Structure 1
Amino acid sequence: MFACIFLSSVVLIAYGLPVEIAKPTKQVNPELLGGGFEGDMILPPGFDPLHPNRGVSINGQIRRWPNKIVPYDISAISDSRDRQTIELAMQKLMYDTGITKPGQTSRTSCVTFRPAQSTDRKVLKIQYGTGCSASVGYNTNYPNTVRLQRNGCFRNGIIQHELAHVLGFFHEQSRPDRDQYLTVHYENIQQGMAFNFQKYSWGTQVENQGSTYDYNSLMHYGRNDFTKNGKPTLTPRTAGAQIGQREKLSPIDIAEIRRYYNCS
Structure 2
Amino acid sequence: MKAYTGRFAPSPSGPLHFGSLIAALGSYFQAKAMQGEWLVRIEDLDPPREMPGATSLILKALESYGLHWDRDIYYQSQRHDIYQAQIDEWLSSGQAYYCQCTRKQVKASGGYYTGTCREKKLPPGQGHAVRLCMTRPVYSFHDEKHGLIDVPEPLAREDFIIQRRDGLFAYNLAVVIDDIEQNVTQVVRGADLIEPTGRQISLYQISGHTPVSYLHLPLAVDSPGHKLSKQNHAQAIDIQNPVPTLVRAMVFLGFQLPQGIEAANLAEIIDWGCRNWHIQQLPDKFEIIL
| TM-score normalised over the length of structure 2 | 0.25
More helix by share: 2
Greater gyration radius: 1
Which gives a bigger RCO, structure 1 or 2 (Cα 8 Å, sep 6+)?
2
